Amino acid sequence: MKSETSSKLKPKSNGKYKYLKEKSILYNEKDEYSLTKEEFCRLYAFYVTYSMCGSQSMKKRTFIDYGWDSNNVYELVNHHRVKTKLGNALCSAYVLNNDNFCFISTEDDLSECFRKCNLLDGRLVDYDTERAVIKSTQESNKYMKLFYRVRDGFAHGKFILKYSSNHEKMIIIQDDDSSNVTARIVLKLSTLLKFIEVIDLAQIIDLD
């Protein structure tokens, strides 16, 4: 990933990462493209209105609602932990087990994770690399933890639409609680839509 201009990091306090408003990765940034009506409706239906995470929505859906046999991404086979069909489907959309995605506990150092993933305070210089730092949630797997933070970003309008250097449509999200950052995410629009495509076996999103 490209080198990013260094930024003065705020000290960690009880697992929190404080920042100034003008140091948000979204501050004073403008959208460079617009979502189509279909893209907007699919993203908001899946990630917000029918969010699968926690108690985020009274209209919550599960993987089973979308046509899967279970909600499990892994299962035990002969004492070995292996991916289910659902787990393999999610990996076909995007594999989160790489160094560009940090899923951390409250004891981890957010500032170091932001540094590692090139997501420090202020305007980003790399809109090409898909990456994220996701603070702890109660969700059972990495995909659900990511969806939880994506939902927050969309629901509160804390995202911007940018082009990568090769004109790929990217979505940049910052989830925060007051002045405490809980996630920073850079993903292709196509990746977020691909998740919906592979999860929605019953094709119910298009009926909403």
Between CA 35 and CA 47 the distance in angstroms is 15
The 10s digit of each residue's pLDDT in 91-129 is 999 999 889 999 987 767 888 999 999 999 999 999 999
- Three-class secondary structure of residue 118 per DSSP: coil
Residue 186 maps to a domain: yes
Q: Is residue 161 part of a domain?
A: yes
195: in domain: yes
| Per-residue pLDDT at 108 | 73
Q: Contact at 8 Å (CB) between 71 and 63?
A: yes
The pTM for the full model equals 0.88
Where does residue 127 rank: exposed (0-12), middle (13-18), buried (19+ CB within 10 A)?
Answer: middle
Question: By residue range, what is the domain housing residue 46?
Answer: 28-207
Lookup: tokens for 68: 């899967």
Q: Check residue 198 and report its DSSP letter.
A: H
Beta strands of 7-122 (E only): which ranges?
74-77, 80-83, 101-103
What's the pLDDT score for residue 2? 47
Burial of 18 (0-12, 13-18, 19+ CB in 10 A): middle
Domain-embedded: residue 152: yes
Does residue 77 sit within a domain?
yes
Domain assignment of residue 56, yes or no: yes
To 5 degrees, how large is the angle CA 136–CA 143–CA 198? 165
23 — pLDDT class (breaks 50, 70, 90)? confident
Q: For residue range 126-180, what is the model confidence (pLDDT) as tens digits? A: 999 999 999 988 898 999 999 999 999 999 999 999 999 999 999 999 999 877 8
Number of domains, the chain:
1
- For residue 196, is it within any domain? yes
Q: Flag whether 147 is in a domain.
A: yes
